[in-house]
Amino acid sequence: MTTDKMLSDVQKGIRSDFFTYLAQGTSTVTGATFQMALAQSWGKLQILFEDDGVSLVHFMNPLDVASYLGTANITTQNAFGMNYVEDFMGLGRVFFNSSVPQGKIYSTVQDNLVLYYVPVNGADLSEAFNFTSDETGYIGIHEEPDYTNMTASDTVINGMTLFAERLDGVVVGTIGAAGGEDAGGEDAGGEDAGGEDAGGEDAGGEEPGE
C-alpha cells in the first residue's frame, strides 16, 4: 500500500466518524426530492440561527444528486477527499461523499463545526520525528525500511478531530418522504380527511335509489 493510499484511508475513517456524529442531529426535515429536502434544511437552519449571519454547509451522498449534476452547469472543487460546490442552488456550500447514507442530507452552519488539530510537522513533533503529511498537515505517516527481512514498518498519526458543537444545530434531512418537518405528514391533508369516506359510496351510493 502506498503512502498516499494510507493517508487517504485515514481521511476516509475521519470522514466516516464525522458523518456518524452528524447523524445524531436532533432537527429533522423531509422532502420528496433532494431539492425539496435541501430547501427544507435551508429553511430550518434559517430559523435555528435567525439572529446570526451564518454560512450554511450541507453533506450529501453523490448518488442522490448525480442526475442533476450531469445536466447542470456547475464547477466542483475538492477538499479533504470530498467534492463540493459553492452556493449550490443558492442554498449554501454542498459537499458530496459516499460516507453520507443515500437518502440523507446533513446540514448545519459553518460556525457550528469545530476542528481540533495538532500539525504533525509542527514544532513539538518535527524536532523528534519526521512524518510525511497529507494536504491538511494533520495526518502523517513515517515508513521505516528493515533490510534484514526486506520489509517496512509504517507509523501513522492523526492529530485532528471534527465535530459539531451543537447537535440541535444539525438538521438531518430525509429524501423521498412528504415535504416539510416530521410533524406535518399525510394525516393533515391525506385521504382520511378528504378521501372516499366523506364523498364515496357510503354517503351517496346505491341504497337510496334502489
According to the model, what pLDDT value does residue 144 have?
85
Cβ-contact 134, 78 below 8 angstroms: no
According to the model, what pLDDT value does residue 179 have?
56
According to the model, what pLDDT value does residue 167 have?
95
20: three-class secondary structure by DSSP: helix
Cα–Cα distances in angstroms (integers) from residue 135 to residues 2, 79, 122, 144, 161, in the given order: 16, 9, 14, 21, 16
Cβ contacts of 150 within 8 Å, gap of 6 or more: none
- Judged by phi (left if over 0) then psi (alpha if -120 to 50, else beta), residue 106 lies in beta
Cβ contacts of 186 within 8 Å, gap of 6 or more: 178
According to the model, what pLDDT value does residue 189 have?
43
Average confidence (pLDDT) per 10 residues, the chain, 210 residues: 79 91 96 95 94 88 90 84 90 94 96 88 74 83 86 84 94 82 44 44 44
Query: How buried is residue 65: exposed, middle or buried, by Cβ count under 10 Å (0-12/13-18/19+)?
Result: buried
Q: How far is residue 120's CA from residue 112's CA, in Å, rounded to a whole number?
A: 25
The cell numbers describing 189, all together, are 391533508
According to the model, what pLDDT value does residue 161 have?
87
According to the model, what pLDDT value does residue 123 have?
61
According to the model, what pLDDT value does residue 184 have?
40
116: three-class secondary structure by DSSP: strand
Q: Give the strand order in the sheet containing 132-133.
A: 132-133, 139-146, 151-158
According to the model, what pLDDT value does residue 39 have?
96
